[in-house]
């Protein structure tokens, strides 16, 4: 009698995150005849098939690797990137500030590597993405489907367009931007958002947020807020309980506003 396969076990074709004892992380897609290699030996993909998530497996040289299904955050940090991605630290707050949820119609520009797109799609939104670079648009679509599956393309439509030239469609619930000159999109956002619709822009430099804020105030937006998110990790080990020695001091500023009914 053969045992029932465990419902938690990895299958061929799945994404698996392998973590070594030094917390180095490797993302693999399980393939027939595939193998994983690092300085500490190799591991056949087939040896992961049938293994329960959360297990430790050993490489040919006996190094232990912990195997999990990657979270969205794991995937974003290890996926192929062309453009600089927005990091999970800021993506979480963007989802709240822009109030992203099922059936929200979102205009996103630029899509870059698709990190923010993935989080908004995972939250249930439908996205029209404007991206000027065809190669980035292609990579974003690859990343998005690799993590969320092909079906998500029903809700993810990327167009090769310059967002500064205008937004063609109307009736958007949300406009979410990661662009060098977001103020150039404010007037377009005002005419394509529903009243009460939310505008969120991520910018690395505060002068970009200042210019965007001034333009929003002149263009019929209210409820303005600019926020910076700081995360400080803590080390908890025995009697040593203290903040981490290093932290990411800066990524970007988040500016949010709502379209007023005129």
Site residues, ligand SAH (CB under 6 A): 83-86, 109-110, 112-116, 130-133, 136, 162-164, 178-180
Which residues, other chains included, contact 248 with Cβ-Cβ below 8 Å and sequence gap of 6+?
Answer: 87, 89, 231
Nearer to ligand SAH among residue 85 and residue 190 (C-beta): 85
d(CA 130, CA 163) in angstroms, rounded, equals: 6
- Is the peptide bond prior to 110 cis by the omega test (within 30 degrees of 0)? yes
Element (H, E) at 178: none
Least distance from ligand SAH to the Cβ atom of residue 109, Å = 5
Nearer to ligand SAH among residue 44 and residue 160 (C-beta): 160
Nearer to ligand SAH among residue 179 and residue 254 (C-beta): 179
Least distance from ligand SAH to the Cβ atom of residue 225, Å = 20
Least distance from ligand SAH to the Cβ atom of residue 117, Å = 7
Least distance from ligand SAH to the Cβ atom of residue 13, Å = 25
Sign of CA dihedral 190, 163, 121, 26: negative
- With CA atoms as reference, report the closest residue to 167 among 192, 197, 137, 132: 192
* 229 neighbors 89 (Cβ within 8 angstroms): yes
Nearer to ligand SAH among residue 26 and residue 164 (C-beta): 164
Nearer to ligand SAH among residue 30 and residue 179 (C-beta): 179
Closest-approach residue to ligand SAH (CB) = 110
**3-state DSSP assignment of residue 67:** strand
Least distance from ligand SAH to the Cβ atom of residue 141, Å = 12
């Amino acid at each position: 009698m053969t045992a029932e396969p465990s419902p938690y076990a990895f299958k061929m074709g799945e994404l698996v995150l392998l973590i070594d004892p030094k917390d180095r992380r490797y993302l693999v897609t399980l393939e027939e005849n595939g193998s994983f290699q690092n300085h500490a030996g190799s591991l056949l993909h087939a040896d992961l098939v049938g293994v329960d998530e959360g297990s430790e497996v050993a490489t040919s040289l006996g190094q232990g690797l912990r195997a999990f299904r990657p979270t969205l955050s794991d995937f974003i940090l290890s996926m192929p990137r062309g453009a600089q991605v927005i990091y999970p630290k800021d993506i979480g707050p963007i989802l709240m500030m822009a109030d992203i949820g099922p059936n929200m119609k979102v205009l996103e520009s630029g899509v870059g590597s698709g990190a923010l797109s993935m989080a908004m799609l995972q939250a249930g939104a439908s996205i029209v993405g404007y991206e000027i670079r065809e190669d980035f648009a292609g990579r974003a679509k690859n990343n998005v489907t690799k993590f969320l599956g092909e079906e998500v393309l029903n809700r993810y439509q990327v167009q090769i367009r310059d967002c500064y030239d205008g937004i063609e469609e109307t009736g958007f619930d949300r406009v979410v931007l990661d662009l060098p000159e977001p103020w150039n999109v404010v007037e377009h956002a005002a005419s394509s958002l529903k009243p009460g619709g939310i505008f969120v822009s991520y910018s690395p430099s505060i002068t970009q947020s200042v210019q965007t804020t001034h333009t929003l105030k002149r263009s019929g937006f209210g409820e303005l807020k600019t926020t910076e998110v700081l995360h400080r990790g803590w080390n908890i080990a025995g009697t040593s309980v203290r903040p981490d020695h290093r932290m990411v001091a800066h990524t970007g500023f988040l500016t949010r506003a709502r379209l007023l009914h005129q």
